Structure 1
Amino acid sequence: MDLEAVRTFVAVADAGQFQEAAVELAVTQQAVSKRIAALERNLGVRLFTRTPRGAQLTIDGQAFLPHARELLRVADRAVASVRAGRRPLRVDVINSRGAASGLMRDFHRAHPEIDLDVMLLFEMDTAVAAIRSGALDASFRAVGVPGRPLPPDIESVRVVDEPLQLLTGPGHALAGARSVTVAQLTGHRIWMPGIVPGTEWAAYYDDLVAEFGLTIEATGPNFGSDALLDTVADTPALATFMGEHTRLVWPADHGLRRIPVTDPTPVYPHSLLWHRDNPHPALATLRAYLAGTAADHDGTGTWTPDWTPHWTTAP
């Protein structure tokens, strides 16, 4: 059904005159007459009766009018849903408890007027494909992994470095330390069952192991963070790494310790990815916000893999 003809029908019904409807629609009276005639042929009924006082709805026209109004409302909502700035900004934060999720919560508090759809995508390739297709506006990822370059239409900027902390149970040999150096971790078993080969975080920890001779184990099924915390709390021989900005809650009787790692401090480099031709105005707002919240980064006393992109001040 021709929506312009439906819109013309509603305009004539409201105005009661073909000429007044033509003025409202900024078309000729002849165009209005042609649209109404075409709609009547399509429906197989007469919608108006012409009288000296104007155009009056027939019984069929009266029956069709509320449905015509609803058709136009639906059409207007459909257009608004994809118009730049009207649909929510869709952002992938990988998981709901990490640093990226915290950044987006802060952004939402700073810009409550911007509608957000927060997504959790595990695979980087899935996130990049979604950005390229337009199904996703942005994603937080560690980028620069050798052998996995970003497509040329995907832009990225480093937005936050997250220091790693050692998480131990109360019986661990390092549980009483106020901080530990990377060298002190040599020989200790660091258990991280969530590491999946081929992911960017697996590449990060592979380089960390190679650089400092650490022992990181990814054995056993990954039953999630609660099971990880239970095991670390009950097993003095195991510890794990946790990002400083990761938000986890555990029972008080677990007695878990979060211990800063120093000399150097390994930091996980989070970058924002987006398509270079994405027109969503809220994306520019997000990029400017992240640029404004980035701390002064001189890299002193920290470690990242060689493939990590340099910091830039461009939003």
Structure 2
Amino acid sequence: MDTNALRSFVRAAELGQFQHAADELGVTQQAVSKRIASLERELEVRLFTRTARGVELTLDGQAFLPHAQSIVVGVERAITAVRPGSRALRIDVLGLRSAQAVVLHDYWRSHPETNLDVVTLRVNDPRVAVAAIEAGDIDASFRTVTDPAALPPGLQMIHAFDTPLELLVGPRHPLAAARRLTPPQLRKHRIWVPGIAPRSEWADFYDQLATAFDLRIDAAGPHFGDEVLLDTLAESSDVATLVGARDRYMWPTNHDLRRIPVVDPTLAYPLSLILPSANPHPELRGIIAHLGTLPRLPDTAWLPSWATTPQRDDDTENARGPRPRPRS
């Protein structure tokens, strides 16, 4: 099986567009299309369907993707084995529009010499990311194991940064005209967060948030993607959601969505970075130092209970400086 075809398939699946995959791989879109067509003929299945926004995996494509990713990673590791130190720093983020990706992009813009590969494992259970670090498939992951005692020996989890939350609503929502909101003002309003996955760190986060402030967090229904969520908010007079202040969202201008800060206390989502305790990738130190320059939370802030646990070793603490303690 052609490894170039597999690599093209994997990147197209992760990025959602043949052109983006081609740009990353340094080939033409036509070359990516031909490689994937050849792969489909060999497998005798369709791997993609075309949409207005690019391409989406078929059910066969979804079944094939994790195996193809394993093969591509294995090939890259084999190459690295004979070219020590040549592989880019590979960091897992929850999504390419997430706060973690935004922060990494800001760092790379200031340090374009950094050989950086930002990947999305597309898994909800942080233990899968932990296993990928242990296997050497990735160098670090912006995930949180909410019970640090469950972290395997040989790995460490350090505090990365805290991202304040904002309420995202459409123009017909009762809170749409507010310039800022307090948690009590969110009570009885439907906050829709579809697709909260069991065992995920955000499931724990939203459970604690709902309990602390008596909020109505609605996780009903599958998550059909950010576009569907944004379309729903634009049309609704009673649905809202929570987003991170650094998360990057794009919507048509006629949606007229509003991002409203939540204050007194500021609701914040804590983000951690999991990496090896010994011999981490040398490029990580610069990124960890950059995380220490990010703005701190205000004095009145709320974070979940697991964010109060010390999560870094002495070397990392020295690289970043002191961490602000959560307030609740």
Q: Same fold (TM over 0.5)?
A: yes
The 3 A distance-change label for structure 1 pair 238 and 81 is farther
2:139 to 124, 137, 146: 137
Distance in 1, matches of 2:148 and 2:90, equals: 27
Identical aligned residues as a percent: 45
CA offset at residue 114 of structure 1? Answer: 1.9
Alignment of 1:164 onto 2:165? yes
Q: Deviations over 1:219-270 (max 9, x none)?
A: 1121100000000111111100011011111111111111011111110001
CA offset at residue 189 of structure 1? Answer: 0.4
Q: Deviations over 1:41-80 (max 9, x none)?
A: xxxxxxxxxxxxxxxxxxxxxxxxxxxxxxxxxxxx9468
The 3 A distance-change label for structure 1 pair 207 and 160 is same
SS of the residue 2:233 aligns to: helix
Match of 1:187 in 2: 188
Q: Alignment RMSD, CA only?
A: 2.0
For 1:68-147, list aligned pairs within 5 A: 78=79, 82-84=83-85, 86-121=86-121, 122-123=123-124, 124-143=126-145, 145-146=146-147
For 1:267-282, list aligned pairs within 5 A: 267-282=268-283
Give the number of equivalent residue pairs. Answer: 235
Alignment of 1:207 onto 2:208? yes
Alignment of 1:302 onto 2:304? no
Distance in 2, matches of 1:261 and 1:79, equals: 46
Q: Deviations over 1:175-203 (max 9, x none)?
A: 00111110011100000103112100111
CA offset at residue 295 of structure 1? Answer: 3.1
Q: Contact (CA 8 Å) 1:233, 1:256: kept in 2 or not?
A: yes
Q: Contact (CA 8 Å) 1:156, 1:273: kept in 2 or not?
A: yes
The 3 A distance-change label for structure 1 pair 231 and 288 is same
The 3 A distance-change label for structure 1 pair 314 and 272 is farther
TM-score, reference length from structure 1: 0.70
SS of the residue 1:175 aligns to: coil
Q: Contact (CA 8 Å) 1:80, 1:87: kept in 2 or not?
A: no
Match of 1:37 in 2: none
Structure 2, unpaired ranges of 5+? 1-77, 320-328
Match of 1:233 in 2: 234
The 3 A distance-change label for structure 1 pair 170 and 152 is same
Structure 1, unpaired ranges of 5+? 1-76
Match of 2:318 in 1: 314
The 3 A distance-change label for structure 1 pair 166 and 279 is closer
CA offset at residue 294 of structure 1? Answer: 3.1
Q: Return 150-159 or 282-291, whichever deviates more.
A: 282-291
Distance in 2, matches of 1:79 and 1:311, equals: 30
For 1:281-296, list aligned pairs within 5 A: 281-291=282-292, 293-296=293-296
Determine which structure has more spread, i.e. the larger CA radius of gyration: 1
Q: Contact (CA 8 Å) 2:195, 2:220: kept in 1 or not?
A: no
CA offset at residue 82 of structure 1? Answer: 4.3
Match of 2:38 in 1: none
CA offset at residue 152 of structure 1? Answer: 2.7
Q: Contact (CA 8 Å) 1:142, 1:201: kept in 2 or not?
A: no
